[in-house]
Structure 1
Amino acid sequence: MNGASREALAAARERLDALTDNTSVDAGSLADELAAVTALLDREVSLRRVLTDPAQAGEAKAELAQRLIGTQVSGSAADLVAGTVRSRWSQSRDLVDALEELANVADLTSAQQRGKLDNVEDELFRFGRIVSSNTELRAALTNRTATGSAKRELLGSLLGGRADATTERLVTRLVAAPRGRSLESGLESLSKLAAERRDRTVAVVTSAVPLSDRQKQRLGDALAKLYGRRMHLNLDVDPEVLGGIRVQVGDEVINGSIADRIEDAGRRVAG
């Protein structure tokens, strides 16, 4: 997103935070309602174009949204959606992306309120690693000819009772409605949103052997000092990393493995 859409999303996130700070609002239920509105606007292209038409007054679009969904969702969800369509959006699809993000943030907020956000972060990361290493599972979850119910049933057998309910809901929504994204990029986006809930950045750390608690603490402190914010370490073990560690923060990679240094030396010799 850029321009007006970025500002509109930021305003919507603030409204969501204010809403979920109210203990009378069930963040998990709110997430389900926002996800349902997302699915509706993803299907109804003409409707979302009307709701993002810059030629129409914001209040008129908000009233239309209230009339259409006011009886289908709670008052809190309807007010949040109305406030969102009242804003100006650069592209109509940005509105759908924003509502989907609000749904995911609401679910993560629910996990945070239950003290389970760390668990959800770790489970999203682990599930992503399982998918990337299992081609048959990935093919089944991304099969365009498979029905949504079949995919939900598969995920239920994989995650049901083994993962937090928030993790299961987030992954199920992503798999059932990828909206043009790869499974990997969708899981990465969810992990980033989870980290943002605690104002932390995600660092993917790959080492040849598991790190000790002391090593994890020292690495986290060093990265926090380097990037100026708290870090959440997603830890992975890869025996092919001959020594040292490999750290990826966003698009930046910090390589300290022996394997990478050998490759680097080989390139220098070849050059």
Structure 2
Amino acid sequence: MVSFRAASADAMAALTDQVGGVAEASASAVAGDLFSAARTLRAEASLRRVVTDQSVPAAARSGLIGDLFTGKVDAATVALLRDAAGRRWTRTGDLADALEQLGVVAAVRSVGLQAGTLVDELFAVRQLVTGNSDLRNALSDPVRSAADKGALVDTLLAGKVLPATVQLVKQALSGSYRTVVAALEDYERTAAQVQGEGVATVHVARPLSEADQQRLGSALTRQYGRPVHLNVVVDPAVLGGVRVEIGDDVIDGTVLSRLDDARRKIAG
């Protein structure tokens, strides 16, 4: 996940609270507008420098961004952009990164109580892209236009997943992350975080029953002090047991891991 420091972290926290107050009915439009504003700032270096230059009065920075976007985006987005431009940012590029993350938060807001489904769908798309080299290459091909890639996403997903999922997958193609897969993984975490959850990727040899998932989820919730959303990956190479990845932590209780431990003890 994009990490903000010092003043940028403070600004991001305040702006995230504001996005949390956006009406569900308009949240999808606000998300799209924030993504568009982030693209504009990344493409216009001079604008980016001016609206993050602390030697320029905050009112002037807010006024400039307001004049640029008023009438072109939702009024709620203009208010957010004016506020964002008037704040302090640690790095010049932080404002654009923050607007993209705020767009993800707004997209999550747009689905209401279906946020858990959104996390599941983003994970499923990430797994699809990871496991299909032709699709991965098509989505990352610099020769293909953004419109062409977006049409491919529509063909694959439209009508099969939440509109917010399609919106976020298309945003993942913007090139602001190292890869599409990295973008989708970050969006998953943000979507879960909006609900106050962490995300755990669980590797198992066979699908877990609902009861097993509930037990594992409860155990992780107790351990980490907050609800944990499970993304389950069925991988025959696991052989047996469970491998859990949550943040930087890895809990490896697989048969393969135990065999490796046994080998090291014998060799030692």
Give the TM-score normalised by structure 2. 0.95
> Moved runs in structure 1, 4+ residues, more than 4 A?
none
Q: 1:166 aligns with which of 164, 182, 199?
A: 164
- Once the two structures are superposed, residues 34-76 of structure 1 have per-residue CA deviations (whole angstroms, 9 ceiling, x without a partner) of 1111111111011010000011111111011111111211221
Q: 1:189 aligns with which of 186, 193, 210?
A: 186
Q: Is the 8 A contact 2:29 2:74 kept in 1?
A: no
Which residue pairs with 2:52 in the alignment?
Answer: 52
Which residue pairs with 1:36 in the alignment?
Answer: 36
Q: 1:10-159 counterparts in 2 under 5 A?
A: 10-18=13-21, 20=22, 22=23, 26-112=26-112, 115-159=113-157
Q: Aligned pairs, how many?
A: 265
Report the Cα offset of residue 116 of structure 1: 1.9
Matching residue's letter, 2:267: A
Residue segments in structure 2 that go unaligned for 5+ positions in a row: none
Report the Cα offset of residue 267 of structure 1: 3.0
Report the Cα offset of residue 180 of structure 1: 4.1
What CA distance in whole angstroms lies between the structure 2 residues aligned with 1:192 and 1:261? 30
Q: 2:5 aligns with which of 2, 12, 24?
A: 2
- Once the two structures are superposed, residues 71-129 of structure 1 have per-residue CA deviations (whole angstroms, 9 ceiling, x without a partner) of 211221111100011000011110000011111110110012xx321211101111111
Report the Cα offset of residue 130 of structure 1: 1.2
Which residue pairs with 1:226 in the alignment?
Answer: 223
Give the TM-score normalised by structure 1. 0.94
Q: Is the 8 A contact 2:238 2:256 kept in 1?
A: yes
RMSD: 1.3
What CA distance in whole angstroms lies between the structure 2 residues aligned with 1:139 and 1:269? 44
Which residue pairs with 2:207 in the alignment?
Answer: 210
Matching residue's letter, 2:200: A
Percent identical among aligned pairs is 36
What CA distance in whole angstroms lies between the structure 2 residues aligned with 1:58 and 1:268? 63
Matching residue's letter, 2:197: R
- Once the two structures are superposed, residues 158-203 of structure 1 have per-residue CA deviations (whole angstroms, 9 ceiling, x without a partner) of 111111111001001111x122422221111100111112101001
| Bigger relative contact order (CA 8 A; separation at least 6) | 2
Report the Cα offset of residue 132 of structure 1: 1.1
What CA distance in whole angstroms lies between the structure 1 residues aligned with 2:74 and 2:254? 52
Matching residue's letter, 2:120: D
